[in-house]
Chains A and B, each alone.
Chain A
């Protein structure tokens, strides 16, 4: 079983729509959860982190965490073409474990 699994992409959404990304993890002892965005040919950059169950909003991004279900999600509202990238879910226990990423394409 992979440590972190993400829904397979690619995910194509029209401009202005909501993009929904999902992630599950295997280690119940995981303490903190992250979403990174990676543009093609670039390094990952942190966009959100969440530690507690519930929702956390930052601008157009909302992260949701459900530790009982071992599930993390990211919603991107009012999607823009500049949001087109690969989104990596990461989970921390003693190290940071990444999922394989979901590629999002926002159609203008």
Chain B
């Protein structure tokens, strides 16, 4: 019954590795997001997709590449991981572009060593 799910929940990896985080929503929503929450709890939008189309890209390094194979899925691939990438990454969805109630996934806790 999970509305927005993410895998994995925890990810511990070495600097320089490449990793992916997956997100799926079963709410029938059109818009999906990736947020990064740093150690100071600051939650910042990274990307947004509406019906598989990229609509927001917030000055994120090129090492981060989102992919939306369909409107229910939004994955995040990170190349050449750096220590500063350690954070909690939240996926979220909304019914449409202009509807603001964000439904958040449980988060993926990434630790880069």
Contacts and interface: CB of A to CB of B under 8 A. Distances in A.
Interface in B81-113: 90, 100-102, 104-107
Contacts of B58: 95
Interface string B1-44: 00000000000000000000000000000000000000011111
How big is the B interface, by class?
10 to 19
Contacts of B48: 95
Contacts of A86: 41
A70 to B, nearest CB: 18
Secondary structure call for the A interface: strand
Contacts, number: 41
How big is the A interface, by class?
10 to 19
Given A95-B45, A100-B40, A101-B41, A32 B56 contact: no
A92 B100 contact: yes
A23 interface: no
A25 B23 CA distance: 30
Most-contacted residue by chain B among A43, A86, A96 (CB, 10 A): A43
Given A43-B107, A92-B100, A98-B42, 9 more contacts: A42-B106, A43-B104, A45-B104, A49-B101, A88-B43, A96-B45, A96-B102, A100-B41, A101-B43
